[in-house]
Structures are given as C-alpha cells and as structure tokens.
Amino acid sequence: MRLSRKHARIALVAVVALMLLPMLALADVPRDAARHQRDLTRHARAVWGMDAPVAMFGAQIHQESRWRANAQSVVGAQGIAQFMPQTATWISGAYKLGEPQPYNTGWALRAMVTYDRHLWQQIDAATPCDRAAMTLSAYNGGLGWVYRDQSLAAKNGHDRRRWFSMVELFNAGRSAANFAENRGYPRVILIKWQPTYASWGGEIVCN
C-alpha cells in the first residue's frame, strides 16, 4: 500500500523521534553525572553485588540533587544524596563509614547505596518494582511510615506487599504536603528518570 504524502511525513517524524530518544535521554543527564558514574557503579556493586540497580541509584541522585555535591535543601538535607544530618550520623555509625561527610561525593554515594540496601532488606514486597518503590519511599520519609501505610492498606483489604495503586494510596498520618511529596518520589525516580540511566545497568522495570 502506497502512503500519502501526509502519512509519509507522519511516519518519517515518528522514525526520527525514535532515533532521537537516546539523544534526548542523554541530554537529560546532568554533565556531572558522567563524572561520577564509575564511582557510583563501584560503590553500588561493592554493597549490592554485580546486579546492583545502578540505574535506579543514578535516577535517585538525579532527583535528589541533580548531581550537585554542594546541594542543600531548605529543611537541612545536605550533599549529592541529600542526607539529613541525623541520618548521615546514623548510617556512618551503623555501617562503619567513618566521619559523616555528606558534602564529600565519594562518601555520600557509598552511604546512599548502603542506606538503600539497609532499607531494601527490611521490606517484604511482591515484586522488585514494589520493593524498590517502598525502599525509595522509606529513604524519603522513613521506614516506619512505610510499615504503617502497609498496615493501613491491609486493614482496608489491599495487598500490603504491593506499592503501586495499593499501599501508595494510604496515608497513616503524614501531612498532605509530605504525603504528596513521598508518593511522587518513587514514581519520578523509577518511571520518569530511571529509563534515562538504563544504560548504567541494573534497571528495575516497573510495568
């Protein structure tokens, strides 16, 4: 079947768009990301093993600080991984990472993947995607809130081991603003930014 000129133009635009997708993804990656990719991969594999979800970690740093080592939030989160001071102190002591140095990129990357691993091991979920989402929710707002939200979901007849459209719907007591931020955090990392870093390896696919 011969295409009309209009349909041929549409087909050509679609092909060009598909060809440009990898370029657009690369354009979304801050320049500093490439500089830290090797260190992030090394730390991630040292803590998680060779199948470490490096793409998720890259997306998490992207969301937290856009790879700015000197980032500081209005609530006091510090550095490239946006650790609150008390969390940085706890993770340093619990995992013997030395003096807390949230503005030191090497320390912060190691601490982030270590803390994510700690949270991951405390969570029971139906799929790797659900587990990753709960891990990220806990990183953003605290593991206790995840447990309370799971319990509330279960009391209402939902699967406590599934995050998307299940546990994520329930708020065990956060303020409206904190709830909205926390629910957006896993989605923007796993669904929006993670594909941008897929070439880094270990992408956790969420269908």
For residues 135 and 112, give the distance between their C-alpha atoms in angstroms, rounded to a whole number: 12
Q: What would the mean pLDDT of 156-182 be, rounded to a whole number?
A: 97
Q: Per-residue pLDDT for 71 more than 80?
A: yes
For residues 165 and 170, give the distance between their C-alpha atoms in angstroms, rounded to a whole number: 9
Domains along the sequence of the chain with CATH: 30-200 (1.10.530.10)
pLDDT band at 207 (very low <50, low <70, confident <90, very high): confident
- What are the C-alpha distances in Å from 40 to residues 55, 61, 110? 10, 10, 8
Q: What is the secondary structure of 47-105 as a DSSP string?
A: HH-TT--HHHHHHHHHHHHTT-TT-B-TT--BTTTTB-HHHHHHHHHHTT--S--TTSH
Per-residue pLDDT of 91-131, as tens digits, reads: 999 999 999 999 999 999 999 999 999 999 999 999 999 99
Q: What would the mean pLDDT of 135-164 be, rounded to a whole number?
A: 98
